[in-house]
Structure 1
Amino acid sequence: MAKNAKFVSKALGMKIHSFLKYGLIISVLLAIFSFATYKSDAIVGKWESPDKDRRIEVYKKDNFYFGKIIWQKPDKFRAEVGDIVIRDIEYQNPHWEGKIWVPEIKSDFTANISLPTHNELRVEATNGFIKKVKVWNRVK
């Protein structure tokens, strides 16, 4: 009986050790995935233009990010509240890439978006030889 008890104890100890080892590995992988998802979602929120004349809300749909106008000074722009001006943005660690519609010139630009700080959204828009860079501020 003592031999069987030692064998069972050893086998149980090995199972617990394996369970803990694989549990730790799975936990670490989940933590890494969660952090990556958190980081990619960092642009989600409300942002105000540098001139304080427009606000957009960036949101996630499926694996892409979009931005719609939620407020703007009247009669200044060709866009309207509710228009989607940022679309098909994908996270490309450590920045985001996609398209931006610039209503003032009625044109699409390639967008490269980064977060210099948690409260600053740096938007670099390029269309051919035209390049604009603006830093938007997070609205709380």
Structure 2
Amino acid sequence: MKTTARIAVPIILVLAVSLFFQGHNLPGGGFIGGVLTTTAFVLVYVAYGLDYLEAGVLDREVDPGTGIFEHRSVTAYRRTFVLGLTIVVGSGLAGLLLGGSFLAQDYVILHDVPVYHEVELASALVFDLGVYLVVVGGLLTILSVVGAE
């Protein structure tokens, strides 16, 4: 399982980023990117355990006496959820503040970009980022709490 996770996780994360950036042109980029990112984290948790990210990757000491709700990872996931929710609401209200309708969007085309030549940046990408953070934060909080039981 550990060998499979080492191979599959980077592939899943690259695919998640790719689908996320397609989302401003196609529907659902933030959601499916968030679900795939959560899938990568789940593979790491199944292969290495919940404390692997804290102890193995971030080189932090894990206090075994803390409850799951006080665990650093779960706290970070909850903050990610709140940040995503703030971005989603903020992107909706930005249209109202600029004199348009709720969730109004616009785009700009950047010319002479190396490799791509032209890149279209849509304001819907900000909304997709918020959705991505809500999905990742929410699902990882739920999975961490349920997995610790």
TM-score (normalised: structure 2): 0.23
By relative contact order (CA 8 Å, sep 6+), the higher-ranking structure is: 2
Counting strand residues as a fraction of each chain, which structure ranks higher?
1
> Which has the greater radius of gyration?
1
Counting helix residues as a fraction of each chain, which structure ranks higher?
2
